[in-house]
């Protein structure tokens, strides 16, 4: 009996040690994955530039391609988390990463593509990106939500709310963004960059393997309660999903529109695009963490002040010195993005819906990027999408969407009452006396003897 108790205590001790190691291990894996994910984008785009001569279409197509593959990776993570238990999901994911490492690395231009055709260059570029870098990018695209979902099952004391790990993901992206133009590109040629990236991919596979061992150890060490299924978790309404998509789409579109506005209407300064993108990633780090509610309230209070500054800069135009104009636009962008991402964190669902939440965020990012980078240049002669997205950012304030929805609902009910005709079903009168209507062509009367039901006399307005 004593040997059985001793073995049980040893297993429990190993389980506690594994749970203690779970947080730094999973955080490091998420950080490395995000660093690789964000560094491969400028790496491969620099490979394509000599073939196409640095046309602006390369950057637009690259952004759309990488956002689309990121959405596919998030969808892949959601399917693994929903239909497979963590142990089988780990096997599938590690097997896929091993196959990608053996078949698609190191990264380079796929052979046989040559020069782009005269027509359909965008489709040709998407095909080249998919053949050359599609598999490696897809293999690490879903690591962020997938590793967070696995961490939520480790039994760690912070596992019930793993969304703070998204800050580690965006911190890795933030450092990759700053290190590539200032450190990586000046010191390493493209071939060496590709080899280093392949080595980082192998290190990431090792970290995920260690995380899988920790996950298996914690599951075995403690008789965990039954797995929470999406059906048992709090129900997510369609309105919640639409809110997630909208709150992710507005900052994504605003990022592209602000970059175009700064480089076109403010100042054509080299690397000016780095600042908005770096701030965009930093807002996720600041918003997706415990204790961010106070900062969120501060940003909500500051946003109207920054809005006045942006209106001032847009109305006066060139009469405002470009450093001041850039500071006003970038400041509003930072505050508005903090408000949107703070609202996303405030509206986050339970951990059982974590991967679905990130899929909706990715859908919103794709929608915002496509609108600002592909649709807006065709629809508008000027950068009109920027003021439109500034207005949309104001509507993302807490309570603004609900107030707008209530106003729209009240207006639609008012309009519908004016459109109702004699054949419509009767409605209850609010009082037993005369019930008047503000519409001049409709008279509504109420009969107390008929149970205080409203009847309609006259004709429909706008009818012939």
Residue 17: pLDDT above 50? yes
Task: Note whether residue 463 is domain-resident.
Answer: no
Find out whether 172 and 35 touch, Cβ atoms under 8 Å.
yes
Helix (H) or strand (E) holding 464: none
Beta strands in 351-428 (DSSP E): 427-428
Asked whether residue 270 falls in the same domain as residue 386, the answer is: yes
The DSSP call for residue 446 is E
Confidence at residue 269, expressed as pLDDT on a 0 to 100 scale: 53
Whether residue 86 sits in one domain with residue 197: yes
233 and 270 part of one domain? yes
211 and 289 together in one domain:
no
Predicted model pTM:
0.76
Question: Is the pLDDT reported for residue 7 higher than 60?
Answer: no
- Express as a percent the part of the chain with pLDDT over 70: 73
Last residue within a domain, chosen from 355, 382, 398: 398
Mark whether 312 and 191 lie in a shared domain: no
Please tell me the distance from the alpha carbon of residue 137 to that of residue 126, in angstroms, as a whole number.
14
pLDDT score for 452: 39
Place of tokens 């909500």: 300
Closest by alpha carbon to 257, among 368, 369, 372?
372
Mean pLDDT of 441-451: 39
Residues 99 and 190 in one domain: yes
CATH of residue 203's domain is: 1.20.1250
Q: Is the pLDDT of residue 335 over 90?
A: yes
Domain boundary pick from 227, 252, 286:
227
Six-digit token string for 425: 């079903």
Nearest Cα to Cα of residue 402 among 239, 244, 250: 239
State the pLDDT confidence band at 101, using cuts at 50, 70 and 90: very high
Same structural domain for residues 33 and 18?
yes
pLDDT computed for residue 339 by the predictor: 93
Cα–Cα distance for residue pair 81/270, rounded to 1 Å: 43
Average pLDDT, the chain: 77
Q: Are residues 317 and 247 in the same domain?
A: yes
Asked if 371 and 255 sit in the same domain, the reply is: yes
Domain count, the chain: 3
Q: Band of the pLDDT at 461, cuts 50, 70, 90?
A: very low
Q: List 458's β-bridge partners, or say none.
A: 442
- Are 79 and 159 within one domain? yes
Considering the domain architecture, whether residues 262 and 214 belong to the same structural domain is answered as no
Q: Is residue 4 part of a domain?
A: no
Tell whether 288 is covered by a domain. Answer: yes
Which pLDDT does position 226 carry in this prediction? 39
| 347 vs 269, higher pLDDT | 347
Which of 398, 421, 444 terminates a domain? The answer is 398
Same domain, 450 and 308: no
- Give per-residue pLDDT as tens, 382-439: 778 888 999 999 998 887 656 555 655 565 666 556 555 544 454 444 443 344 444 4
Q: Omega into 412 within 30° of 0, i.e. cis?
A: no
The reply to whether 2 falls in a domain is no
Helix 385-395 to helix 322-346 angle (10° resolution) is 40
Question: How far from the centroid of its chain's Cα atoms is residue 388's Cα?
Answer: 20
Least Cα distance to 80 among 153, 15, 136, 137 occurs for: 153
Largest CA distance in the chain: 94
Question: Which of 366, 345, 380 shows the shortest CA–CA distance to 251?
Answer: 366
Inside any domain, residue 305: yes
> What percentage of residues in the chain have a pLDDT greater than 90?
25
| Backbone region of residue 443 per phi and psi (left: phi > 0; alpha: psi in -120 to 50; beta: other values) | beta
Residue 3 lies inside a defined structural domain of this protein: no
Over residues 167-212, the pLDDT tens digits come to 888 888 889 888 888 888 888 888 899 999 999 999 999 999 998 8
Query: Which range is most confident: 154-163, 270-279, 363-372?
Result: 363-372
Domain containing residue 94: 10-113+120-227
Q: Does residue 464 fall inside a structural domain?
A: no
Predicted confidence at residue 301, as pLDDT, reads: 92
Question: Is 1 within a domain?
Answer: no
Structure tokens at 340: 């949107």
Tokens of 277: 């993108």
Give start and end residues of each alpha helix (H) in 292-353. Answer: 293-316, 322-346
Q: What is the pLDDT of residue 136?
A: 93
């Amino acid at each position: 009996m004593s040997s059985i108790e001793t073995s049980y205590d040893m297993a429990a001790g190993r389980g506690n040690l594994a749970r203690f190691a779970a947080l730094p291990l999973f955080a490091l894996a998420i950080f490395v994955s995000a660093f690789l994910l964000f560094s491969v984008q400028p790496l491969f785009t620099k490979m394509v530039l000599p073939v196409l001569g640095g046309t602006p279409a390369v950057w637009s197509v690259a952004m759309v391609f990488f956002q689309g593959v990121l959405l596919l990776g998030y969808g892949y993570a959601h399917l693994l988390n929903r239909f497979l238990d963590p142990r089988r999901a780990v096997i599938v994911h590690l097997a896929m990463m091993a196959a990608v490492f053996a078949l698609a690395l190191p990264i380079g231009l796929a052979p046989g593509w040559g020069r782009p055709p005269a027509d359909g260059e965008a489709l040709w570029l998407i095909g080249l990106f998919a053949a050359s870098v599609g598999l490696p990018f897809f293999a690490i695209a879903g690591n962020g939500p997938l590793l967070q979902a696995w961490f939520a099952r480790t039994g760690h004391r912070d596992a019930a709310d793993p969304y703070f790990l998204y800050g580690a993901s965006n911190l890795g992206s933030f450092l990759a963004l700053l290190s590539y133009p200032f450190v990586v590109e000046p010191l390493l040629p493209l071939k060496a960059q590709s080899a280093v990236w392949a080595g980082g991919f192998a290190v990431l596979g090792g970290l995920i393997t260690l995380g899988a061992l920790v996950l298996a150890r914690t599951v075995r060490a403690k008789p965990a309660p039954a797995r929470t299924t999406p059906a048992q978790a709090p129900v997510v309404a369609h309105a919640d999903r639409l809110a997630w998509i909208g709150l992710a789409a507005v900052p994504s579109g605003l990022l592209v529109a602000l970059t175009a506005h700064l480089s076109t209407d403010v100042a054509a300064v080299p690397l000016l695009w780095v600042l908005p993108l770096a701030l965009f990633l930093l807002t996720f780090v600041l918003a997706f963490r415990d204790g961010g509610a106070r900062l969120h309230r501060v940003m909500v209070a500051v946003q109207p002040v920054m809005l006045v500054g942006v209106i001032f800069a847009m109305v006066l135009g060139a009469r405002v010195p470009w450093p001041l104009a850039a500071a006003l636009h970038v400041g509003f962008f930072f505050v508005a993005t903090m408000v949107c991402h703070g609202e996303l964190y405030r509206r986050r669902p339970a951990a059982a819906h974590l991967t679905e939440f990130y899929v909706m965020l990715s859908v919103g990012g794709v929608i915002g990027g496509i609108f600002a980078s592909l649709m807006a240049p065709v629809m508008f002669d000027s950068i009109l999408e920027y003021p439109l997205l500034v207005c949309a950012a104001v509507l993302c304030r807490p309570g603004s969407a609900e107030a707008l929805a209530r106003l729209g609902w009240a207006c639609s009910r008012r309009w519908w009452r004016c459109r109702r005709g004699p054949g419509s079903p009767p409605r209850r009168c609010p009082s037993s006396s005369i019930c008047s209507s503000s519409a001049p062509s409709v008279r509504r009367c109420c009969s107390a003897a008929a149970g205080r039901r409203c009847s309609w006399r006259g004709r429909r307005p706008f009818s012939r």
